[in-house]
């Protein structure tokens, strides 16, 4: 009796072990995302919900869908009297301007989005150059419509913004049209790192409400 019970128990444990071994073997061979070889499945990329896909980009660039950018933007940004604008600069200089602005508690169009890489072309696979340019113009237009109170242009005071730049051709147009901005203070880009430059006391304005659009270069 003891031998028979022990034998049955051993057989059951062996059977259970066999089942578990088979399940583990099948699991290791299953074509899961983690186990899949790169050559068979390619690099697996999970799209951030706060980065629109190609179809959504093509939808957002249409004027009637402009306010749909709100789903990708932070609420309450830009705050009143905190929005900055820049134009005609290379990426290194823009990065420097944005870092300086952030250190002064000011907000750029780059800071508007839930995903910090929203403005980066590399996030939009399959979106061609012209479409992305129109996308930039669209989200810049959205940013300008949200701006209110006092705004700031960070640009050399001895130059004029280009007529073909997004600031002059898109953002400034929206600022003037919507009437929520009282004035645009012209911060001298060449002085932002000068210890003696008090940008908060800057008196030079680029534009004031009720004035006509300034001449561009």
pLDDT at residue number 75: 95
Select from 192, 111, 199 the least CA-distant residue to 150: 199
Question: What would the pLDDT profile of 112-130 be if each residue is shown by its tens digit?
Answer: 999 999 999 999 999 999 9
pLDDT at residue number 138: 98
Q: With contact defined as beta carbons under 8 Å apart, do 59 and 65 qualify?
A: yes
Residues 83 and 172 reside in one and the same domain: yes
DSSP H helical segments within 30-68, as ranges? 38-41, 54-60
Q: With contact defined as beta carbons under 8 Å apart, do 187 and 157 qualify?
A: no
pLDDT at residue number 134: 98
Q: With contact defined as beta carbons under 8 Å apart, do 68 and 60 qualify?
A: yes
Residue 128: inside a domain: yes
Residue 47: inside a domain: no
- For residue 177, what are the domain limits? 54-208
Residue 49: inside a domain: no
Those residues of the chain that have pLDDT short of 70 are: 1-47
Report the SS3 class of residue 20: helix
Name the pTM for this structure.
0.77
Residue 164: inside a domain: yes
pLDDT at residue number 30: 39
For 5-144, where are the E strands, in sequence order?
84-85
Residues 105 and 156 reside in one and the same domain: yes
User: Residue 155: how many CA atoms within 13 Å on its side-chain side?
Assistant: 24
pLDDT at residue number 36: 31
Residues 13 and 72 reside in one and the same domain: no
Domain count, the chain: 2
pLDDT at residue number 48: 83
pLDDT at residue number 55: 97
pLDDT at residue number 7: 52
Residues 62 and 162 reside in one and the same domain: yes
């Amino acid at each position: 009796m003891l031998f028979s019970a022990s034998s049955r128990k051993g057989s059951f444990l062996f059977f259970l072990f066999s089942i578990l071994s088979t399940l583990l073997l099948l699991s290791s061979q299953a074509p899961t995302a983690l186990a899949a070889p790169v050559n068979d499945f390619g690099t697996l990329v999970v799209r951030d919900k706060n980065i629109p896909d190609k179809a959504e980009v093509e939808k957002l660039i249409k004027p009637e869908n402009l306010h749909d950018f709100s789903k990708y933007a932070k609420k309450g940004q830009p705050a009143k009297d905190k929005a900055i604008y820049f134009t005609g600069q290379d990426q290194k200089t823009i990065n420097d301007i944005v870092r300086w602005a952030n250190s002064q508690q000011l907000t750029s169009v780059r800071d508007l989005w839930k995903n910090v890489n929203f403005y980066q072309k590399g996030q939009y696979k399959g979106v061609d150059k012209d479409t992305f340019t129109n996308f930039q113009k669209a989200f810049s237009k959205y940013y300008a419509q949200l701006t209110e109170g006092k705004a700031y242009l960070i640009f050399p005071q001895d130059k004029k913004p280009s007529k073909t730049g997004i600031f002059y051709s898109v953002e400034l147009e929206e600022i003037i049209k919507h009437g929520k901005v009282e004035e645009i203070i012209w911060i001298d880009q060449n002085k932002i790192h000068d210890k003696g430059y008090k940008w908060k006391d800057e008196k030079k304005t680029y534009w004031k409400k009720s004035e006509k659009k300034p001449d561009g270069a």
